[in-house]
Amino acid sequence: MSRQGWRNFKLYAITAKSNHPGRSVVEVMEQALIGGAQMVQLRNKTGTRDEVLEEAKALRILTRKYKVPLIINDYPDLVLETDADGVHLGQDDMPIAKAREWLGVDRIIGISTHNLQQALAAEQEGADYIGVGPVYPTETKPGRTAVTTSYVKEAAHHISIPFVAIGGITLDNVDAVLASGATRICAVSAIVGHNDPAGVCQAFLKKIDAHRSEYVHPFKTVKINGREEQTSAKTVEELVIQLGQQHKKLIIELNGMIVQRARWAETELLGGSSIELVHFVGGG
C-alpha cells in the first residue's frame, strides 16, 4: 500500500518491545506484515533517541519491502531523517499545525483522541487520521480510562477523516468494536505479544472483512447540495462518476471540508455525509 493509498488500511500494528522478550522488533513486525497488517507504527517511549533512530531505520527498510506506510510516534524529526511516512502525536505533543510545518503536506499526521471534542478539533486542525481509544483498558496506556465503544459510535457518526479504534482490542472483543462503527482496527499486545503475529493478523482481517460484507448495505443516504439521495458509491470519485460530473471542473466539500481532487478516489463516502458540488464555468 503506497503513501497515496494509505487511507484504505484496515489493520494497524504498533510496536511494543516489552511484549515479545527474546524476539526483535523487526522479526515480530515482519510476521505482522506477512499476516496482512497494512500500517506500522514505531512506538518506543523508553528508549533513547539513538535507539529509536536505529529501530526506525530498520523498520523503514522492512516496511518498504512490504510497501506499507511507517509512522513514528513522537519524533517528527526522525520521520524526516529516515524518510518515514508520518508521525503519530499524543494530545500533549507538538501541535498538529507545527508538525505540518515540519513535515509538509504529503506526510501523514495522526493523533490520539479520547473524546469527540478532541476528534473534531483534530479534524479541524488538519490531522490525516485519529486514534479512538483506548476502547478497553490496556497496559500500553496505564491509568487512562477506557472510552468504551460509545466513543467509537460517536466517531463513526461525526468524523470524516479516517479513524482507527485502538486500546485493549483482541480477537475476543473486536466484533463489538466493529459493530459500533469501526472499519479500521489497531492492536498492539494482541498482535506483537502473540506467538503467531501473522496468524493473529489474518484472524483480525477475516473478522473486519466479514463485518464489512455483513453490515455494509449497498446503498446509503447522503445529502448532495442540500438534497437527500441514495447512492451505492463507496468513494467521492465513485459518486462523481455516478452523477455524470467527472468531466466538469468541480470543487467538492465533504462535511464542510474541501476534498482535493487527488484524494477523491481514496476518500470514503459514509452514510449521512453531506456533499457540496460546486461547478466552475469558464475562468470562474
Asked about 43 being catalytic, the answer comes back as yes
Of 7, 141, 180, 189, the catalytic one is 141
Could you tell me the three cell numbers for 74?
Answer: 513522537
DSSP state at residue 144:
P
Distance of CA 284 to the CA centre of its chain: 35
Asked about 184 being catalytic, the answer comes back as no
Of 60, 107, 112, 184, the catalytic one is 112
Instruction: Give the DSSP per-residue string, 214-233.
Output: HH--S-EEEEETTEEEEE--
Of 43, 207, 234, 261, the catalytic one is 43
Could you tell me the three cell numbers for 69?
Answer: 506506510
20 close to 46: Cβ distance less than 8 angstroms = no
C-alpha distances in Å from residue 235, one per residue of 69, 127, 193, 280: 21, 20, 35, 22
> Angle, to 10 degrees, between the axis of helix 116-125 and the axis of helix 148-158?
40
Report the 10 Å Cβ neighbour count for 169: 27
Asked about 213 being catalytic, the answer comes back as no
- CA-closest candidate to residue 191, choices 175, 168, 165: 168
Active site residues: 43, 112, 141
